[in-house]
Structure 1
Amino acid sequence: MTNRACLITGVLMIAATAAILLFMGRIPICECGYVRFWTPASDVAGSSQHIADWYTFSHIIHGFLFYWLLWFVFKQRSVGERALGAIFIEAAWEVAENSPWIIDRYREATIAVGYTGDSVLNSVFDILWMLAGFFFAWRMPVWVTVVVGIVFEFLALWVIRDNLTLNVLMLIYPVDAIKVWQAG
C-alpha cells in the first residue's frame, strides 16, 4: 500500500469512527458550547470533552504499545499499514469506550461517577494522539519511548491520581483501596 493510500484510508477510518459515534448519540463537542485545546485537572466536567486532557497521555502510550505490537506481529508490513492497524484498534476502543456498558462500568468501578462518555471531538483527537505516540515510537529508540511512557504515567498519577495502568486495572478488577485513594 502506498503512503498516500494509507493516509487516505486512515482519514476515512477516523471519519467513519466519528460518524459511528455520532450515530451512537455522542455529542460532537462539549455541551459547554466551546472547544479548548487543554482541559485542566480542575475541570472534571470538561475531561474527555475537548482536544486534550490528562488522559491524552494514556492515548499517546497506546500509540507506543500499538507500534511495538504491530511491529512485532507485522514486521513485513510498512509503517503506514501498521499505523492503519493502530487506528483500527484505537477506533474500536473509542466506540467501545463510549458504549453504555463501558460508561456504566467507569461509573461503578472507578472514581468517574459523573462520566458520560467522550465528545466526538475528543474521540477523534484521542485517535490522533495515539498516532502521535505511534510515530514517536517509530522514530525514537525504545529506551526513550519507555522513559517517556513512564514519565507520562507518573505525571498523570501525581496530578489526577489516575493513569493508563490504573484505568485498566480498575476496569478489569476494581480495588476498593485504590478507589478510595483516587477520591482523595
Structure 2
Amino acid sequence: MTRQTRAALAAILIFAGAAAILFAMNRPPICTCGEIALWGPVGPTQSQMLADWYSFSHVVHGLIFYALLWLVARRTPVEWRFLLAMLVESSWEILENTPMVIDRYRTATAALGYAGDSIINSLSDIAMMAIGFLAARKLPLWGAILLFIALELIPLVVIRDNLFLNIWMLLAPNDELRTWQSAAALAAWHLAGR
C-alpha cells in the first residue's frame, strides 16, 4: 500500500470519526427544518445545509494550515501534513458544536439564533478545509494569496463577517463591530421571515 493510499484511508477514518462523535453529541444529521440544500443563506438555515457563507472561511483554514505546516514541517511528507490539518479541522468542528462554544458565539458575536452546525454542514466544513489545503499545494504562492484575500473580502462585503472577524469576536468581542455586523444579520433574518 502506497503512502498516498494509507493517507487517503486515514483521512476517511478521520472524517468518519468526526461524524460519529458529532452524532454521539446529538448534533442533528441534517437541518432541523427537514430539508437538505446545497446552500444555507444567512438566517435560520445557515450552518445547517451543505454550504453557507462560512464555508469560505474553512477553505481559508486549509490555505493557512498548508502554509503553517509547510513552514514548521516542510520535510514531513505532505500526506501527513494533510492528515494533521484534517485532525485539527475535525477537532475544531467537534469543539465548535459544544454548548460552551455555541453559547460563546451567541453572546460574543452577531450570530443570531446560532444553534451549532448540522452534521452534514460540519462534514462539508472539513471537506472545504481539505479543498483549501489541496488548492494551496497546487497553486503558485501568488495564486494562494489572491484566493485567501478573495475568500476573506467576499464574505466581509456580503455578510460583514469573515474568518478574521470571527476569530476577533470570539476572543475579544467589540460592541461597535457586533452592532455593524448585526445590521446585516437582522436584515437577512427579516428576509428569511423571522
Please give the TM-score of this superposition, normalised by the length of structure 2: 0.91
User: Unpaired segments of 5 or more residues in structure 2?
Assistant: 184-194
Per-residue CA shift, 1:129-172, capped at 9, x if unaligned?
00000000000011111111111111101111111010000000
Q: Which residue of 2 aligns with 1:9?
A: 10
Q: Which residue of 2 aligns with 1:27?
A: 28
Q: Which residue of 2 aligns with 1:77?
A: 76
Q: Partners of 2:15 and 2:72 in 1: how far apart?
A: 23
Matching of residues 51-70 of structure 1 within 5 Å = 51-70=50-69
Q: Which residue of 2 aligns with 1:142?
A: 141
Q: Partners of 1:167 and 1:63 in 2: how far apart?
A: 16
Q: Which residue of 2 aligns with 1:97?
A: 96
Q: Which runs of 4+ in 1 moved over 3 A?
A: none
Report the alpha carbon displacement of residue 77 of structure 1 after superposing the two structures with TM. Answer: 1.8
Which AA in structure 1 matches 2:129? M
RMSD, aligned α-carbons: 1.0
Which AA in structure 2 matches 1:36? A
Percent of counterpart pairs with the same letter?
45
Which AA in structure 2 matches 1:101? M
Report the alpha carbon displacement of residue 50 of structure 1 after superposing the two structures with TM. Answer: 1.0
Report the alpha carbon displacement of residue 113 of structure 1 after superposing the two structures with TM. Answer: 2.8
Q: Does 1:124 align with 2:123?
A: yes
Q: Which moved more, 1:69-78 or 1:106-115?
A: 69-78
Q: Partners of 2:160 and 2:141 in 1: how far apart?
A: 26
Please give the TM-score of this superposition, normalised by the length of structure 1: 0.96
User: Unpaired segments of 5 or more residues in structure 1?
Assistant: none
Which AA in structure 1 matches 2:26? G
Report the alpha carbon displacement of residue 40 of structure 1 after superposing the two structures with TM. Answer: 2.6
Report the alpha carbon displacement of residue 74 of structure 1 after superposing the two structures with TM. Answer: 1.6
Q: Partners of 1:32 and 1:113 in 2: how far apart?
A: 17
Matching of residues 149-160 of structure 1 within 5 Å = 149-160=148-159
Report the alpha carbon displacement of residue 71 of structure 1 after superposing the two structures with TM. Answer: 1.3
Aligned length: 182
Partner of 2:44: helix, strand, or coil? helix
Q: Which residue of 1 aligns with 2:189?
A: none
Report the alpha carbon displacement of residue 91 of structure 1 after superposing the two structures with TM. Answer: 0.5
Q: Partners of 2:20 and 2:150 in 1: how far apart?
A: 34
Q: Partners of 1:13 and 1:60 in 2: how far apart?
A: 18
Q: Partners of 1:156 and 1:137 in 2: how far apart?
A: 20
Report the alpha carbon displacement of residue 25 of structure 1 after superposing the two structures with TM. Answer: 1.0
Q: Which residue of 1 aligns with 2:187?
A: none
